[in-house]
Amino acid sequence: MPDGWYRTNLGSIIELKYGKSLPAKSRDGGEYPVYGSNGIVGSHSTPLIDHGGIIVGRKGSFGEVQISDVPFYPIDTTYYVDKFYYQPIKYWFYFFKNLPLTQLNRSTAIPGLNRMMHMSKVLIFLH
């Protein structure tokens, strides 16, 4: 493998974090997008994350992947990723888009999204 490239488990470098509750009646229409499992569901004046990130549907549209290039608020039906460990955000966005996340179903014996993420192999370049 070329210098600077490493093969590792995705879970050792990327953390899926849980979004936070923000009921529709509490969203004040501010400048920051509020993301649900299927994309933008409103806006609010205060972001939960103060920079761009990746949003992954956790309930409803399970496994759908969105990207926000601006500060945002991921609600509790989502996971989000806000640290990208030396790779551009779009690298991880396309990485997640190419995982078969939408094929997972919690009612089957298939491992859940968190487990699949931790086991997935990834090549990463560290400066």
- Helix (H) or strand (E) holding 54, with range, is strand 53-57
Is 22 in contact with 75 (CB distance < 8 Å)?
A: yes
Q: Where are the domains of the chain?
A: 15-104
Assign domain 15-104 to its CATH superfamily.
DNA methylase specificity domains (3.90.220.20)
pTM over 0.75: yes
- pLDDT at residue number 85: 79
- CA torsion 91-94-96-102 (nearest 10°) is 170
Mean pLDDT in residue range 95-108: 66
The tens digit of pLDDT for each residue in 33-90 reads: 999 988 999 999 999 999 999 999 888 777 789 999 999 999 999 999 999 877 889 9
The C-alpha atoms of residue 105 and residue 127 are separated, in whole angstroms, by: 37
The tens digit of pLDDT for each residue in 19-37 reads: 999 999 999 999 999 999 8
